[in-house]
Amino acid sequence: MNQETSRDYCSWLIHVKLSRIVAMVLAILIFTPLITHFYLSKVERSSYLIEHGAHSHQDLNEDFYMFKESDLKVGVEELLRIRGSVLSELRDIEKKRQQYKQEIQSYAKNIEELKLELSHQQTSLNRLKISVEQAQVAQHEALQQNTPDLALPKKLTVDTLPSILPPIPRNASIHCRMYNCFDHSRCSLTSGFPVYLYDPDQFPVMNDGWDVDGFLKTTLKQTLGYNPHLTNNPKEACIYLVLVGEALKDTDDVSENVGNHLNLPPLDSEALKRLPFWGGDGRNHILLNLARRDLTTTSGDIFSKTDTGRAILVQSTFRSDFFRPGFDLIISPVLGPPGGDVWQECAPMVPVRRKYLLTFQGEMKMLKSERNASSRTDHFDDIEDSDADVDKFVIDHLGSLSESETSDKFIFEFVCNPASDNNINSGSQDWALCGTDTSRRSVLKMSTFVLIFAPRHVELVSTTLLQARVYEALRSGAIPVILGGDQTRLAYDEVIQWRRAAIFVPRARITELHFLLRALPDEDVLLMRRQGRLVWERYLASVQSTLDTIVAVLRDRLNIPALPADNFKAMSVFNETFQPIQVPVASDAEQEESLGPLEPPFDSPAYRRNYSLSLVHGHAVWNEWGDPFRLYPHLPFDAALSADAKFLGSGRGFRPIGQGQGGAGKEFSEALGGNYAREQFTVLVLTYEREQVLLDSIARLRGLPYLNSVVVVWNSPRPPSPELRWPDIGAPVRVVKAARNSLNNRFLPLDCLRTEAILSVDDDAHLRHDEILFGFRVWREHRDKIVGFPGRYHAWDLNTKNSWLYNSNYSCELSMVLTGAAFVHRHYLHLYWKWLPQAIRDKVDEYMNCEDIAMNFLVSHFTRKPPVKVTSRWTFRCPGCPQSLSEDDTHFQERHKCINFFTQVFGYLPLLNTQYRADSILFKTRIPHDKQKCFKFI
């Protein structure tokens, strides 16, 4: 019997029952009054004759006088008996009437239940029809698919050592480029870019009496050990790293190591050629000169007198006639710690305008005579360079600027204290740093801009001092203004967009410099300062970041994808021999409308842009997202196809509403629509010893469309009870054991999370299905934002006037959406553990609080966008639940402190306000009776 015949048969049975009930009721209502009237009329007539006989004897029948008293008594008793019988029958009739009434009510209730069940069955039938249609479409697409989906690249490496080739002439190496001096055959696109490091103790390459700085040797080996590209197998290596500098002479005389620029410690060419994998010409070898001192003269640098063959040179100082663009690499000197959190080194980014508009601290060095001058003009007495007049004019102009009547304040120091300790020697550079690192930093923290002079020698495209001054400026939040910047190159400039973080001014524009700086609005000044901090933290701040950046730039040149980001292994809370008890759960009474198809779980396509990401979004990866070091399965910034592409050649996976014609609620529920192909979401739940609350929450997810799986992070050290009966909701439920009790575990990038969309929920959050699906649809249009339900905001403390408060009151402005019920992109889980400073996660563990605030800070910092609040929900209540952390008196005080501490770590407050929330289209729109709304209650 098919579905329609069964439905007709049920309707006929209901009709027959209703007809019988109506007939019985009519019979009772008609015959009961007639019988009652007959008996009552007979009794009433007899009583009337008795009562009126004494008044009118003439009207009495003569037979009446023949009755005896006994007969009258019998008649009265008979009448009384009849009256009692009638009353008894009336009571029985009333009782039956009440019974029939109850039966009618019961039948009516059954009818309503049958109607409701019919509606539910009709909804389920519609959902099954939609699911079948979607499955048919997916099957048709699978049959038509010609190319497989890309996944993680399979590693393919060489298994031989470099062959021995004849060396190239020394004068030919100046023409080396990647296409003619690099062996691409050792670096397959799927090789993963393995890197081999020569141990500097086993393979020294310096001349006798010279050695590499011990700090650099130790730090290099330690930090490179954390780089996932490092390999110990030289046969599979793509490149070979050789540590060359910083070189120090083996002597107790420190003066021989500082400023000894005429007798350079050249490399040992023969030692280079003796390297076991040199291959005769040094191809694919990287010579690292990580010098913190400038050992360059006008005649050359540490490499100028050495035959380096086809090796790539990496250092801070380059002459134009020795620098090979696209082959050699300019880096920043290693001035920071080995690694770790570096935010403590940075100055706050606000206020935007600092005490001084522009500062400079430095002194011009003499090229022919000793430094014995005491005035600015004396510095040019012995300079024979034709640019001396230009430099004199620049200094005089800056001096007059500082003495002008402008309201802007300046600091220009052109003469250093002879006793000052210069941490960075200038070598051939004609400017030296003044003061100690601490004194310079104190001035830079009060400077909006800092002036940096380019090398006076035009043949120098970069110097260690120039890169060091940029490093110091970015660390302190002072925007570098490079005078003569049109003739220089900064570190990693082939990937870093330095014009977003620094100002390059030709020397000829010195008279317009003040006007230019004043023309920049506060918004752009803050953008440049923020960009400078991103560059400094990610690429310059430590030895670890420097080495990672060098490897990433070289890999980026070859368009080799980075290695995939690490996931946390999802360890089940159950052992291999125990299987949790699963029980079916009743149909959810909330399902009053068809919300979407019921489909088997399918994962979001991953690693589809392994080789196109660097081509299309290379600059964004380096300059906006700030993470070119790892490959992620998907990003919230992935581009969407145009609307017509879905119908003209690129429609696989898309589910347009009404097959492209659009529509109201019915068509809306049949397809996801939107700008992206079909997808599902994962529910991620963090729980701690609230077992029944958790099970009830999971049970409410039964029959939820687009649900891929439920992942429960078991935060308690005590395993769940074996007697727990886990609900079978039609989707996989995975219970993952946490290493320790931490709220940071809410955002673990677990390897069992297979979708881009992650619905992060508390174990006591009660969301209707339509609310969840509405939030999911909104998130699909705002994939880079947090999209959720409970809204909060940061408020200025009017009492102290120097701090922020966390506020949960009703407000027309929001800046946070709590992750106790919110959609986030899976990529942010990686960033939470990989990018977010450890100090923030430590603070979350200290307070057992604020992980949701930290995620809002993180997302707003990366996107510069506020979150999206959906529906009118403001908070959640769970009657009968155990006391939650948020009910503690100290909860709000801790959250106040978290906002202020996180602001200190980030250097500014990244949260942005929003003044709207999202409700569904047609929510309050009058529509025709034959149309459905998108969602009935949203």
- Work out the end-to-end distance of the chain between its first and last CA atoms, rounded to an integer number of angstroms: 38
Residue 277 Cα distances to 176, 243, 284, 327, angstroms: 19, 15, 10, 20
Question: Residue 713 and residue 748: Cα distance in Å, rounded?
Answer: 9
Which residue in the block uniquely carries the two structure tokens 């050695």? 211
The DSSP symbol for 64 reads G
CB atoms within 10 A of CB 924: 7
24-33, long-range: CB < 8 A, 24+ apart: 24/100, 25/100, 25/104, 28/93, 28/96, 28/97, 28/100, 32/93, 32/97
Question: Residue 494 and residue 129: Cα distance in Å, rounded?
Answer: 55
CA torsion angle for 869, 875, 876, 881 (degrees, to 10)? 140
Strands (E), 198-337: 210-212, 239-245, 247-249, 285-289, 312-315, 318-319, 329-330
Strands (E), 406-458: 410-413, 431-433, 447-453
Question: Residue 812 and residue 798: Cα distance in Å, rounded?
Answer: 19
Question: Residue 723 and residue 274: Cα distance in Å, rounded?
Answer: 69
Q: DSSP characters for 595-624?
A: --------PPP-S--TTTHHHHHHHHHHHT
Radius of gyration (C-alpha) of the chain in whole angstroms = 42
The amino acid sitting at 529 is R
The amino acid sitting at 496 is I
Strands (E), 674-782: 681-687, 707-714, 725-728, 733-737, 757-762
Question: Residue 744 and residue 847: Cα distance in Å, rounded?
Answer: 11
Secondary element (H or E) of residue 926: none
Catalytic residue among 430, 764, 770, 852: 852
CA torsion angle for 718, 720, 723, 728 (degrees, to 10)? 180
Residue 792 backbone class (left: φ over 0; alpha: ψ -120 to 50; beta: rest): beta
Mutual angle of helices 851-863 and 891-906, in 10-degree steps: 30
Residues in the chain: 938
For the question of residue 852 being annotated catalytic, the response is yes
Residue 804: strand pairing partners: 796
Residues serving a catalytic function are 852
